[in-house]
């Protein structure tokens, strides 16, 4: 690919990019590494053993492992069958795992006391009305006064520190990555080409919406969800230019 060319992403990239190779590409996002993140979320939400909790976009269940025992019921939802199978292997206590699209949550209204959403498992859809639709689905299944914890990336930090090209090795594969910002669509994009030795294996795409704290707040407000505070890291503290996360915590009005 010529240096001046901008690669294209596929419209429904998420239908393929979370298959069996995903845990290898993101091997550093391990079950062990999720201990601090899950504990921080539980503390910020004030989780109790009476709460019914939904992990929206639960992936391989690495956070669910550490939320077990903190709530009376724990449900994980994801679109990827491969990652849900991985989650089933990780979980040691009963939990419900559901395969569904986050735009159409298969739960009754007011089912959950709290929703967690980790590692930028949001903002996937090019039409922002669909991302708003996800937030409205969250609001519908939350009981009045229910809480939410959404871990997103800090767009200002991500754009400023963007590593446009990188190559690394994980799980015996060589991963050639390219990242760029689509200013018109306000999206951060990534393409990962996977090689096993010299042999090309596959290409994975990622594309997520760039949200400022203000835009995020407005989006959630439209759905009747109030963001009460932002944190810039899992160590706590406010969002700042040198912090890589935008962790939104709030409640349903």
| Residue-wise DSSP of 164-212 | -EEEEEETTEEEEEEEEEETTTTEEEEEEEEEETTEEEEEEEEEEE---
Q: Which residues span the domain enclosing 174? A: 157-208
Q: What pLDDT sits at residue 196?
A: 96
**Gap between the Cα atoms of 249 and 64, Å rounded:** 18
Residue 6 belongs to some domain of the structure: no
d(CA 124, CA 188): 10
Same domain for 182 and 236: no
Residues 186 and 78 in one domain: no
Looking at the structure, do residues 168 and 198 belong to the same domain, yes or no? yes
Residues 107, 222 share a domain: yes
Query: Cα 164 vs. chain centroid, distance in angstroms?
Result: 21
Let me know if residue 10 belongs to a domain.
Answer: no
pLDDT (tens digit per residue) in 140-179: 999 999 999 999 999 999 999 999 999 999 999 999 999 9
Residues 45 and 81 in one domain: yes
**DSSP secondary structure code for residue 15 in this structure:** G
Q: Is residue 225 part of a domain?
A: yes
Q: Is the pTM of this model over 0.85?
A: yes
Q: What is the pLDDT of residue 6?
A: 59
**Parts of the chain with a pLDDT under 70:** 1-9
Number of domains in the chain: 2
């Amino acid at each position: 690919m010529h240096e001046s060319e901008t690669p294209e992403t596929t419209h429904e990239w998420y239908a393929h990019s979370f298959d069996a190779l995903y845990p290898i590409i993101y091997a550093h996002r391990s079950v062990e590494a999720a201990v601090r993140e899950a504990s921080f979320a539980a503390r910020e939400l004030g989780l109790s053993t009476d709460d019914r909790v939904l992990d929206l976009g639960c992936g391989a269940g690495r956070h669910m492992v550490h939320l077990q025992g903190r709530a009376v019921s724990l449900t994980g939802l994801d679109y990827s069958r491969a990652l849900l199978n991985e989650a089933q292997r990780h979980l040691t206590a009963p939990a419900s795992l559901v395969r569904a699209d986050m735009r159409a949550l298969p739960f009754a209204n007011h089912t959950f006391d709290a929703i967690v959403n980790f590692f930028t498992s949001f903002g996937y859809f090019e039409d922002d009305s669909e991302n708003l639709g996800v937030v409205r689905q969250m609001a519908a299944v939350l009981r009045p006064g229910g809480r939410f914890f959404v871990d997103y990336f800090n767009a200002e930090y991500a754009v400023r520190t963007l590593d446009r090209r990188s190559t690394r090795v994980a799980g015996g594969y060589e991963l050639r990555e390219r990242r760029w910002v689509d200013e018109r669509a306000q999206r951060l994009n990534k393409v990962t080409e996977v090689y096993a030795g010299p042999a090309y294996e596959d290409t994975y795409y990622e594309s997520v919406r760039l949200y400022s704290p203000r835009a995020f707040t407005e989006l959630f407000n439209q759905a009747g969800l109030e963001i009460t505070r932002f944190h810039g890291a899992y160590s706590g503290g406010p969002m700042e230019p040198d912090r890589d996360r935008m962790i939104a915590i709030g409640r349903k009005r």
